[in-house]
Amino acid sequence: MRVTQSMISNNMTRNINSSYNKMNKLQETVNSQKQFSRPSDNPMAAVLSLNYNSSINQLEQYERNIGEVNNWLSTTETTINEGIDVLNRIRELTVEGANGTALGADREAIANEMSELKNHLKDLGNAQVNGKYIFNGSNTSVKPDGTFSEGSINIEIFQGTQVTVNTNGEELFGTILADDSSSVLTNLINDLNDPSKSEDDIGNYLDEIDGILEQFSKEQSKIGAKQLRVDLFENRLENHEVMATDLLSKNEDVDLEKVLIDLTTQQTVHQASLSVGAKLIQTTLMDFLK
């Protein structure tokens, strides 16, 4: 086959263009530090990256959900702890009121303090997290003020796993905050203000107060158990996110040192090709002119 000047020029141009493309690709890789810059570069790897990113986004959403759960549980626990302190004080006052030496003025003072403690318990029943009333069931936008709604607030902390973050306000506060005869505290305050009530009448309330304290303690234990479970899932999420991020990095990120070596090598090859090509074309052109 006869090799012509045109064939030599075309081959050299094609090779130089190919070299430029290789350098351009390597330069893009250095700039992005990614194995591919568009899905068409590596469709399979692109699909994997989409899946990994989707998983990471979902894990991050679960972490945000756990943050909200922690806010609910922390606020509920703090509120219950404070409620226990208030109830213990109410119990102390009840014991004082049941003491035979407590006179009318003493009982009145005890009743007044209990009224203030009842108001404080009502404030605790109105506790909020991010503007949501945590003891008012699913009706979180309405202030309960001693009258509580039903319903659960469930937050997903992992695929298929939800945590009920709210506490039943009626079970916790209902028997002490009502203003009618069903309220232990209302009846106790009324009896303290009633001179006809004996110390035994006042002392009879201790069992009911102890029952309320026990209910608060049980709820305190439930919150602790939930928090422990949430902490375990939080650790699991962190491990899953580390693994997903590592897989994404392996799928996308490049060995920058190797790419820089490849780029330097390609630049050397390219310069050599240009040099040889220039000499070859120059020689052939001179021969042609002769």
Confidence grade of residue 205 (pLDDT, cut at 50, 70, 90)? very high
| Same-domain pairing of 91 and 164 | yes
| Same-domain pairing of 281 and 213 | no
| Same-domain pairing of 244 and 288 | no
| Same-domain pairing of 127 and 161 | yes
Residue 16 lies in a domain: no
pLDDT at 76: 96
Number of structural domains (the chain) is 2
| Same-domain pairing of 76 and 194 | yes
Residue 30 lies in a domain: no
263-278: pLDDT as tens digits: 567 666 656 666 666 6
Residue 46 lies in a domain: no
52-88: pLDDT as tens digits: 888 989 999 999 999 999 999 999 999 999 999 999 9
| Same-domain pairing of 264 and 228 | no
pTM for the full predicted model: 0.74
pLDDT(163) > 90: yes
Residue 89 lies in a domain: yes
Residue 78 lies in a domain: yes
Confidence grade of residue 111 (pLDDT, cut at 50, 70, 90)? very high
Residue 37 lies in a domain: no
| Same-domain pairing of 190 and 278 | no
| Same-domain pairing of 150 and 284 | no
pLDDT at 288: 46
Residue 117 lies in a domain: yes
| Same-domain pairing of 162 and 196 | yes
Residue 214 lies in a domain: yes
Range of the domain at 214: 53-249
More confident residue, 127 or 177: 127
225-256: pLDDT as tens digits: 999 999 999 999 999 998 988 887 676 665 55
| Same-domain pairing of 168 and 270 | no
| Same-domain pairing of 268 and 127 | no
**130 vs 46: CA distance, rounded Å:** 39
| Same-domain pairing of 149 and 282 | no
Could you tell me the CATH number of the domain that includes residue 175? 1.20.1330.10
